[in-house]
Structure formats: structure tokens, C-alpha cells
Amino acid sequence: MFSIVETSITLMCILALKVYYFQVFATEYSLICKISNYRKPYICFMDGVTMGFGIGLSGHGRFRVITERTILAMPENGIGLFPDVGFAYISARGPGRGAVGAYLGMTGKKISTPADALYMGLGTHYVPSGTMPMLKEALLCTNLYCSEFLQVKFPSILVPCYCYLLFFREAIENLMYISASSSNDPDKDVLDLLDYYRREPESDSLLKMLLPQIVSCFTNKSVHETIKELKGHQQSSDSPVADWANDALVGLGKGAPFSLCITQRHFSKVAEAFENKDSYLSKLMGVMRDEFRIATRTSIRRDFAEGVRAVLVDKDQLDAVVLDTKDLHLVQHQSSEFMVCDANPKWCPSSLENVDMTEVESIFEPLPPENELNV
């Protein structure tokens, strides 16, 4: 009797979580689509850590301001999900025809230099953090006017505004100005101001320097093929290349094997569709519909709960996990002694060779019409 009650409660909890995740992802992804089509100037300040949904809120905006303090990443594979928020769409339009974005998404590696952020296309303007207060004040004092907007009715807003995001301050302000001296082109007014404050990065892009290696490892290859290529680059006599390959393998080792396969498949599909204008994946709304299917299914898998537990709750995630039981990925612990991981998180499946690719493909299948993302 107890087991029946326990099973019933478990099923009810899963159903409740599924409903909750449907609501969360539907709201999140719909907002991303609105941001990408937003008619008024949309200015994002990324003066600090911008990860996950932070990239969703900023990466599809028209003006994306970064500083030397900006840190960008999509680490979702490490908690048993996948890099979502339309990052695959951004990647397909980035360098290497999606390869650089696939590398960042699969490994969860951080972008921590202005040059790399600009090269990847996540930033449009580099402004030193010391001049950010002056830029914000200048934006507040700028008169933005466009007669065209006066013909468009917005909820409780009848005149133009511009919206900017201050991450980690949860501030979204709508500012309304009308001035006879404006250019009648708010986008141009904002662009001129950002161009005035922008500076060139002091260092070159490491991602650009490593582009040939990134393309060879992450262009439409299976995860197994990517690992094989990276192991070859580990033996390179070029120290930066060898270090990069080793670092990439460590990053892959932290991701759930199932999530890695999902990510590789998703990013490859979106990259392949980039030049095919007839493909639904060539448009952001199509990508977000696909990601809604993936997210609502992966979020109720065991990996997500286990990843959150290990990374965010108990914080007992080890440096890496076994990628393939045929070729054990060894990890160096603080004792400087190499040993095989008793892996945390405990993924299901625990290795790439045990991932059922039929199950991976099923994650992309359409949902019932009433459950699809409506954008």
C-alpha cells in the first residue's frame, strides 16, 4: 500500500513540475522573441556576469554594451539541461558558421575579454566600466523622438521610449522624450552616442586565434568525434593550442553526456539551416519552438535535478566525469594524484557510449499542437 501511495505522490510531483516548467519556458522564450523584434531602441548593459537567461535577455537586443568586467557563458550542460535562450541561433550567425558557439555551448567555457565578446557577436560596443556612469547619464539626457511611433499605440504608453537592462539590479526603465531637435531616428541617436563612448579592446581575440582548431573540432561532428579531435590537439607543439584542447576536454567532462549529445545535435541543425531561408530553424521563432520542445522534456529528466543538486545545492561537483568508459577521462585532484572519478553529479546515462541516440532524436519531436510554443 505504501509503495502505491509513494508512486502516486511521485507522479503528481512530476506532473506539477511539468506544468510549472511549461509556464516558465513559455514565458521566457516568448519574451526573447519579443526582444528580437522590439521596435524601440533596446540597450543592454552587461557590466558583469551575464550567463544563461542573461544572454537570452541581452544577446537578441539591438545594442549590447560590454565592459572589461563582462563575463559571458552558457553552462547549462553542467546542470543536465542544454544551452538554450536562442544561443544556437546567435552561434549560427557567429564565426566559424556556428563552430565557435558550439564550442562555447558544449564546454560551458566563459568569455572574459572584450575582444572575444565582440568577436562572438555577443557585444556590439565595448565601453570601459569607468565611463559607464557617463554613458548612462548621457542616455538619460538624450531626446529620442520618432513621429512614426506616435501612430503606434502601446499599453499605457503613447510616446516613444527606450529600454535598457541593468543586470543584477533588476531595473527596466521606460524613458519618454519628445524634442524638436532630435533626428527623428532614435536608433541613430543611440548609435551615435554609443559610438562616441566605445573603445577598442586592448587585447586580441583568443577565439579568433584558435578559430581553425575550433572549426576542426566543433563543426557538425558527433561528441565522440569532437573528443577525438581535441585529444589530437592536446599533443600539439603549439602550447596555446594544447592548453585550449585540454581545457575544452575538461569542460566537456563537466557536462551530462545526454545533454552534450542534445547540444551537439541542436547546434548542428540550427547551423545547417542558417543559409536555408525556407527552413523554420533559419528564424529565431523556429529555433525557440524547437528549444521549447527540448527544454520541457529535458527539465523533467533525472539529470536536471541531479545537476542542480551537485552544482548549486550540495556543491560537490568534481572537476570532471567519465566521458567514455572505453577511454577513461582521468582527473587530477588537489593531492596531485591522478585517479578515476567517482563522479558527481551522477548522470543518467553516466557515459557517452550509453547515450541512446534514438532517445536524443525523440527530444526534438513536435509536441501536441496545444502544447507548442505560441510565438
Please choose, from the candidates 63, 41, 54, the residue with its C-alpha nearest in 3D space to the C-alpha of residue 174.
Answer: 41
Mean pLDDT to the nearest integer, 234-239: 96
Q: Decide if pLDDT at 196 tops 90.
A: yes
| Dihedral sign (CA 192, 47, 241, 326) | negative
Mean pLDDT to the nearest integer, 316-339: 42
Mean pLDDT to the nearest integer, 345-365: 96
Q: Element (H or E) spanning 138, and its range?
A: helix 132-141
Please choose, from the candidates 49, 95, 111, 356, the residue with its C-alpha nearest in 3D space to the C-alpha of residue 251.
Answer: 111
Which pLDDT value is given to residue 14?
54
Which pLDDT value is given to residue 148?
55
Report d(CA 281, CA 264) in Å as an integer.
15
pLDDT one-digit tens code per residue, 15-68: 566 678 899 999 999 999 999 999 889 999 999 999 999 999 999 999 999 999
Q: Where are the domains of the chain?
A: 2-125+203-371
Q: Decide if pLDDT at 168 tops 60.
A: no
pLDDT one-digit tens code per residue, 244-292: 999 999 999 999 999 999 999 999 999 999 989 899 999 999 999 999 9
pLDDT level of residue 185 (50, 70, 90 thresholds): confident
Report d(CA 89, CA 282) in Å as an integer.
8
Mean pLDDT to the nearest integer, 349-358: 96
HEC per residue, 322-366: CCCCCCCCCEECCCCCEECCCCCCCCCCCCHHHCCHHHHHHCCCC
CB 307 within 8 A of CB 78: yes
Looking at per-residue confidence, does 6 or 215 come out higher? 215
Mean pLDDT of the chain: 84
Q: Decide if pLDDT at 12 tops 80.
A: no
Q: Point out the least confidently predicted range of 4-18, 148-162, 216-230, 255-269.
A: 148-162
Residue 245 Rama label (left phi>0; alpha psi -120 to 50; beta): alpha
Q: Point out the least confidently predicted range of 92-96, 182-186, 199-203, 254-258.
A: 182-186
Q: Decide if pLDDT at 120 tops 90.
A: yes
CB 54 within 8 A of CB 85: no
Q: Decide if pLDDT at 334 tops 70.
A: no
pTM: 0.82
Q: CA angle 313-49-292, nearest 5°?
A: 70
pLDDT one-digit tens code per residue, 124-143: 999 999 999 999 999 988 87
CB 164 within 8 A of CB 139: yes
Identity of the residue numbered 48: G
Pairing between β-strand 125-126 and β-strand 171-176 as defined by DSSP bridges: unpaired
Which pLDDT value is given to residue 315?
87
Q: Which residues, in sequence order, are CB contacts of 151 under 8 Å at separation 6+?
A: none
**% of the chain exceeding 70 in pLDDT:** 78
Report d(CA 62, CA 35) in Å as an integer.
9
Q: Decide if pLDDT at 153 tops 50.
A: no
Residue 78: all three cell numbers together: 553542467
| Residue 110: DSSP 8-state | P
Residue 207: all three cell numbers together: 577565439
According to CATH, what is the number of the domain 2-125+203-371?
Answer: 3.90.226.10
Which pLDDT value is given to residue 3?
55
Q: Element (H or E) spanning 194, and its range?
A: helix 186-197
Q: Point out the least confidently predicted range of 72-81, 239-248, 291-300, 331-340.
A: 331-340
Which pLDDT value is given to residue 194?
96
Which pLDDT value is given to residue 316?
84
Identity of the residue numbered 38: Y
Q: Element (H or E) spanning 205, and its range?
A: none
HSE-up (13 A, CA, CB side) for residue 27: 6
Task: Quote the radius of gyration of the chain (alpha carbons, Å).
Answer: 22
